[in-house]
Amino acid sequence: MADTAVDRWRALVLARREQMDAQLAQLGGPPDDWWAGRAPSFSRSIGDLRQAPGWGLPQVVDRLERTDTVLDIGAGAGRYAVPLARVTGHVTLVEPSAAMAGEARAAFARAGLANYTLVERTWPGPRVTPATAVLMANVLGPVLEIEQFLGRAVAAAERWVCIVHGSALDMGRAVERVVLAFHGAARVRQPGLADLIPVLHELGMQPELAMGERRFGRVYADAREAARDVAATALVEQTPAALRRVQRIIAGELEAQPDGRVALAAQRVPVGLLTWRVRGAR
C-alpha cells in the first residue's frame, strides 16, 4: 500500500522501471549508458545556451553572487552548468552518463570556461564540497530513492536548493499510440510536479514555486526518420516491418513543414522552478 507521498513516488518509478525493463529485455537488455546515442541529439535539442537558456535559469542566477558556487546534480550536457559558470565562481557537475559528460565538457570548451569540476558518478554516491546553491534540473523523474537523493542534496547546500521539474510526456501522442499498439498497455508516467510537491512537503521542504510551460517539438527530414525516432522512444525493435507499422500509426500525427520536412505536434507541459533557502542560511 502506497500511503505516503514518498511511497506513491516510489511506486510510480518502480512500475515504470519494471515495465520499461521488460520491454528493453526484448531489445537485448537495458543499455549500460541510457544516454549513449541519445546525448548528441539531447545536446542539439537544448540549442544555443546563450539564445535559449534552461527554464528558470534567470531566477536561479538572481539568487547568486559572482563568488558563489553551484552543485548541479544530473547536469546532463551542461544546459544550466555552463551559463551558471559564466556568472559564479565555480560549478561542480555530477553526471553519471559518460555520453552526457562528454557533451558537457564540449559545451564548456566551446564557452571557453574552465571553472568547473565534473564528477562522473551517480547521486547520492559521491562526496562533494558543499556549494552555495544545489540545482537539480530535470533529473528527479527516474529517481527511486527520492528521500535519500533530496536529503543528501539539501545537506550539500549552504544557502539555496533549486529544483526544475516538469511533467514529462515521452514525446506525446505519437509515441503513446505506438507504445499501445506494440506493447499492449500505456507507458507508466514519470512522477510529475503534482507528485513532487507532496513529497517535498512530507520531507519538511517548503519551496517557493514559479510555474511555466515547456514545449517539446521534433522536426524530421522525412516520415521514415520520424518513425525511427518514435520507435526508439517507444522501445520497439527497428525491423523494416515494425518501422513500416510505426510509420502507418503516426502518419496522422505528422505535420508537413513549409521546408518539406515533417514535425510531430509540439507538446506543452507545465514546469516548475522550486527554490528554498536551507535552514540556518543567511
Ligand X SMILES: C[S@@+](CC[C@H](N)C(=O)[O-])C[C@H]1O[C@@H](n2cnc3c(N)ncnc32)[C@H](O)[C@@H]1O
Q: Which stretch binds ligand X (CB under 6 A): 1-9, 93-101, 186-194, 197-205?
A: 93-101
Build a one-symbol-per-residue string for 26-45: x at contacts with ligand X by CB under 6 A, - elsewhere. ---------x----------
Q: Stretches 68-76, 82-90, 184-192, 257-265: which one binds ligand X (CB under 6 A)?
A: 68-76
Closest to ligand X by CB, 76 or 272: 76
CA 267/CA 215 separation, integer angstroms: 5
Q: Does 94 contact ligand X by CB under 6 A?
A: yes
3-state secondary structure of 16: helix
Q: How many residues make up the chain in this entry?
A: 282
**182 grid coordinates:** 506494440
- Sequence-ordered strand ranges (E) for the chain: 69-73, 90-94, 116-119, 131-137, 157-166, 208-220, 254-256, 262-277
9 scored as a contact of ligand X (CB under 6 A): no
> At what angle are helices 240-250 and 173-183 packed, to 10 degrees?
130
Regarding 96 and contact with ligand X (CB under 6 A), the answer is: yes
- Grid cell in block for residue 259: 521546408
Nearest distance in Å: CB 237, ligand X: 24
Q: Does 95 bind ligand X (CB under 6 A)?
A: yes
- By beta-carbon proximity to ligand X, the closer residue of 76 and 172 is 76
Q: Which is nearer to ligand X, 79 or 90 (CB)?
A: 79
Q: CB within 8 A of 240, min separation 6: which ones?
A: none
Nearer to ligand X, 136 or 254 (CB): 136
Residue with Cβ nearer ligand X (73 or 249): 73
Stretch that binds ligand X, among 1-9, 14-22, 134-142, 220-228 (CB under 6 A): 134-142
Judged by DSSP in three states, 137 sits in strand
Residue 117, beta-bridge partner list: 92
- If you compute the radius of gyration of the chain from its CA atoms, what whole number of angstroms results? 19
Query: Three cell numbers at 44?
Result: 542539439
CA separation for the pair 60, 86 (Å, rounded): 13
Rule CB under 6 A: choose which of 9, 108, 116, 123 binds ligand X. 123
Residue type, 280: G
Q: Cα(84)–Cα(78) distance, rounded to whole angstroms? A: 9
Whichever of 60 and 264 has its CB closer to ligand X, that residue is 60
Min. distance of Cβ 95 from ligand X in angstroms? Answer: 6
Return the residue of 12, 49, 91, 100 that touches ligand X, per CB under 6 A: 100
Number of residues that bind ligand X (CB under 6 A): 20
Residue 251 DSSP class: G
Q: In this complex, which beta carbon is closest to ligand X, that of residue 168 or of residue 179? A: 168
Backbone angles phi, psi at 200, to 5 degrees: -60, -45
Q: Residue 74 interacts with ligand X (CB under 6 A)?
A: yes
137 binds ligand X (CB under 6 A): yes
Contact residues toward ligand X (CB under 6 A) are: 35, 46, 54, 73-76, 79-80, 94-97, 100, 122-123, 137-139, 143
